[in-house]
Chains A and B, each alone.
Chain A
Amino acid sequence: MNSSTETSNGAGDAISVRAAELFKEQQQNIIRHTDRIFSWLMPCQWLASVAIALWISPRTWAGVDSQIHPHVWFAIFLGGAITSLPVFLARTQPGKMLTRQTIAIGQMLMSALLIHLTGGRIETHFHVFGSLAILAFYRDWRVLISASAVVYVDHLLRGFFWPESVYGVLHAPIWRSFEHAGWVMFEVTFLMISIRKSLSEMHLVAERQARLEAVNETIERTVAERTLALTLENTERQRTEEQLRKSQTQLAQAQQIASLGSWEWDLVENRVTWSEETKQLYGRTPEELGSPMEHCLKRVHPEDLPRVNQIMAESLRTHEPFVCDHRVILPDGKERVLQGRGEIQLNGEGKPIKMFGTVQDITETKRAEDALRRSEEQLRQSQKMEAVGRLAGGVAHDFNNLLTVIEGYCGLSLQEMKETHPLYKHIQEILRAAERASSLTGQLLAFSRKQFLQPRVLQLNEVVQKMEKMLRRLIGEDVELSTVFDAALGRVQADPHQIEQVILNLAVNARDAMPRGGKLTIKTANITVDQKSSFRNRVLEPGEYIMLAISDNGLGMTDDVKSHLFEPFFTTKGLGKGTGLGLATCYGIICQSGGDIRVYSEPNSGTTFKIYLPRTDAVPEPAASSDAKLIPGGTESILVVEDDSAVRKLAVVILRGRGYQVQESNNAFEALELIRKNSRFDLVITDVIMPQMSGKELCDQIKGQLPQTRVLLMSGYTDDALAHHGILDEELSFLEKPFSPARLARKVREVLDAPDVPGRFHPNGKKQTPVELVS
């Protein structure tokens, strides 16, 4: 209360002070304004006095003589003197007391002058009263007092010295001077009353103005504070809006980069709004913004639309977020895969009012996933093949050793036995079974691409022609075999036996696909591949190829069957009717030969397998003339090193049977000991894979000690295994297991008879590059 009272008093004092200031200011303005009035009025009066003098009494006469009337000089000089100082002060020092007092006195003196100049006319006396009234403009009673004093003094002195000029009589009492002054005071009194009232009003106005200013100041301060607050708020809002715009821009950029758009569905008004990126993803136009959801879903692929609707309806029912991958068809016809995510916003009553979410272009992701899936499938397939290959390779060694022994002893038995012998046919069956087992082992190695290939330059027309008779017999009479050969067919480099195996497998499959007969067509052609061509993740590089197409008009295959076609152990022939290795073997052989095999098939429309092998310009070698019946022999000294005793003994028996001097050893260390004791061995035949020391290491040591001793390596292992032991890196003589007695005898003779450096690897009696072997 006290503080408010003090504040009120303080404000009142301030207003009073301000009111006083305003009053003084206003008073000064009035005084200055009045000064200006007199600064113009007095010169005018002066000029008027001169004009009056010139008009009323221009000249004074003496008979006919005349001269300028003294009144003219009085008007000029006395009037000028009276006017000069007041005007000077009014112009140079307006507002000062001295100025207005001088003006008041001067104005009254000017009245006196004018009265004189006009001959004391009563009308001129009005100048006195008019001047007093004008002096009252100052609203300063002091100037009226001064002016009145001048008038009175003038009147008093004139009445005293020149009474007749004032009173019209030669002698007048002193009191008559008050008569004139009385009228002056009469006016001055009312002027002063008026001044007082005017000043009072000025005080009131000043106070009101001071109060108004105080109120204005308060208002302006309040306005300034509000304006400042608003400015700050506005600045803050602008900054926030700028940040928002920046964030929105960043969000839009992020959405654009991520191909991620946002959308919002007002469930109450069924209006959908979306971001720029969503518009791009759905191929929307700006006019469609705010359209109903049904309209927005028009771009969804028709096959996906029911699922999308179902997912969204389920989300609306359960209020659970959802994720929905779907395809959209853009206006340009392109198809994209989008992943939509959405959530439900509920109101206070738990009812859904809004659905909002994102949509992301996952087309590339899907493609990558598909590619990854295919890669994984391929990897899985490769791993499967690798596993099978490992299995095949693993069993091949022991299996081939067994088969070597079986085939060897069967062969020896048949050589020493007449055909009439009761056991001859039994042994022949054993031998055939061993050969089939050997073939099976070869197939296992073939589809796993671990087959030991012996490529040659081939003309596929010739290969097929050689097989035609056998194929006709194989496919049966109800299947027609037709061949279409390209007369200018180029050559390929491949293992002829493996190619025959491929053709045989495909022909058998074709026959099985035509249980009621049909037509099998084998066609060859030169093909030029202009650009990279992919199939089953294999890429066919541009170049010249030889195509071998084997077609049937049988049952054909579904896509699912086609997708598993070349997998090992996959068969549609039913249990016991197929091994599932045929097409896998074909695929492995062709791929290992640097080619590709492709299948074109539709259910009930037949199947065509097209084999592409790189064309070669190499010239085919003439077929080696060999007498199959002739089994060569010799007398040279041979050391057989083999850890498998059965194989070793078989080899020893075969070679001794051919006249060679043979010693045997079951490991490399023992062999080296024998060699040290008897350095006359012409040939060392050693298994490659042996415990403690491999055949390759043994070979290296023999070459170090006995450079002239020739070495023949033998193995039933795969090429990978041989490569691991460095066999394929060098040109070493090699004999593949299983072998027959004749093959062993011929190989041994071949190595011994080789004219060049002994120990060369000549699987077919000629040089072969490691690359060809590996392929």
Chain B
Amino acid sequence: MFSITALRTSLFALWLLAAGGGIVVISNYQDRQGSVGSTPEQWPAVRQISLNHDHDTLVMFAHPQCPCTRASVEELNRLLAQCRGRIAAYVLFFKPGQLPGNWTKTDLKQSAAAIPGVTVRDDPDGMLARTFGAETSGYVLLYDPRGRLLFRGGITAGRGHAGDNAGENAIVSLVAGQSTSLQGTPVYGCSLLSQSCSRRGASQ
């Protein structure tokens, strides 16, 4: 009788440990930050996008197939809704050159294009991403009209996790002209560039 109870208890404890551990693991995975490259402090000279000299310019790098970036796009929508008319926004979707053009025509891209005030551009082979030091999908940069970097990081609380987050709040404050001590947040998403791309970009 005792052994059965102990067995049950042990089984229950094992199960609880496994399940709880699993939750911890998934929570940890959710909070695992993506890598960030070297982002220029001043708006670089690029032709595909241009700095808005009247308003702050927001640039988001996104992987068209990344499921976690959906939350970033949603948060972008919320963010732009708060900053409408005071910010210019670009969403640059990674587009590898060797793949067909419809590879980037995803729901995610369409969702981004549907956000008012957002300009969607393809980023062939991640050239701009490399220029701006973006390595993780959902990486957001904010430059003021003079081209100075105001903010860099992610606008989600976790991987694919929509909702209030520090990055979004910081951007809203910056756009509103308020000062904030937070100038960067973790970014959660897929890697924009594959190892080969990264190596190629790095070599370039």
Contact = CB atoms under 8 A, between A and B. Distances in A.
A154 B23 contact: yes
A46 to B, nearest CB: 12
B8 interface: yes
Contacts of A74: 22, 25-26, 29
A348 B63 CA distance: 121
A84 B15 contact: yes
A206 B196 CA distance: 73
B138 interface: no
Contacts of B71: 119
B65 A162 contact: no
A56 B161 CA distance: 12
B197 to A, nearest CB: 5
Given A57-B68, A57-B160, A98 B166 contact: no
Size category, A interface: 35 or more
A692 to B, nearest CB: 134
A59 B67 CA distance: 8
Interface stretch (B48-56, B109-117, B187-195): B187-195
Nearest to B63: A61
A58 B70 CA distance: 13
Contacts of A105: 16, 19
A78 interface: yes
A77 B22 contact: yes
A674 B70 CA distance: 187
Given A81-B22, A109-B19, A164 B157 contact: yes
Contacts of A113: 22-23, 26
A158 B163 CA distance: 15
A205 B117 CA distance: 65
Interface in B151-195: 157-158, 160-166, 169, 182, 185, 190-195
A190 interface: no
A607 to B, nearest CB: 130
B66 interface: yes
A180 to B, nearest CB: 13
A757 to B, nearest CB: 137
A69 B196 CA distance: 20
Interface string A335-365: 0000000000000000000000000000000
A82 interface: yes
A281 interface: no
A424 interface: no
B30 A62 contact: no
Contact of A63 (B30, B70, B193): B193
Contacts of B18: 81
A161 B22 contact: no
B30 A168 contact: no
A106 B11 CA distance: 14
Contact of B15 (A62, A102, A158, A169): A102
Contacts of A70: 26, 29
B93 to A, nearest CB: 12
Size category, B interface: 35 or more
Task: Name the residue in B70, B160, B164 with the highest tally of chain A Cβ atoms < 10 Å from its Cβ.
Answer: B160
Given A63-B96, A158-B27, A58 B15 contact: no
B15 A119 contact: no
A62 B26 contact: no
Interface in A294-317: none
Nearest to B16: A105
Given A120-B162, A168-B165, A169-B166, A64 B96 contact: yes
Interface in B7-57: 8, 11-12, 15-16, 18-20, 22-27, 29-31
Contacts of B163: 120, 122, 168
Contacts of A102: 12, 15
A142 interface: no
Contact of A165 (B16, B24, B158): B158
Contact of A119 (B70, B194, B198): B70
A113 B157 CA distance: 17
A167 B160 CA distance: 15
A154 B157 CA distance: 17
A57 B19 CA distance: 21
Nearest to B193: A63
Contact of A59 (B65, B94, B157, B169): B65
B19 A78 contact: yes
Nearest to A109: B19
Contact of A78 (B26, B185, B198): B26
Given A162-B31, A164-B157, A165-B27, A61 B191 contact: yes
B27 A116 contact: yes
Task: Name the residue in A59, A63, A70, A109 with the highest tally of chain B Cβ atoms < 10 Å from its Cβ.
Answer: A63
30 contacts: A57-B160, A59-B67, A60-B190, A61-B63, A61-B66, A61-B137, A61-B190, A61-B191, A62-B193, A63-B191, A63-B196, A64-B194, A64-B197, A70-B29, A74-B26, A78-B22, A78-B23, A81-B15, A85-B11, A109-B19, A116-B27, A119-B70, A119-B71, A120-B157, A120-B162, A121-B162, A162-B27, A165-B161, A168-B164, A170-B182
Interface of A: 56-66, 69-71, 74, 77-78, 81-82, 84-85, 98, 102, 105-106, 109, 112-113, 116, 119-122, 154, 157-158, 161-162, 164-170
Per CB-CB distance, the 3 closest pairs between chain A and chain B, nearest first, are: A168-B164, A63-B194, A57-B67
Interface of B: 8, 11-12, 15-16, 18-20, 22-27, 29-31, 63, 65-68, 70-71, 94, 96, 98-99, 126, 137, 157-158, 160-166, 169, 182, 185, 190-198
Given A56-B67, A63-B198, 5 more contacts: A57-B67, A63-B195, A78-B19, A106-B15, A162-B31
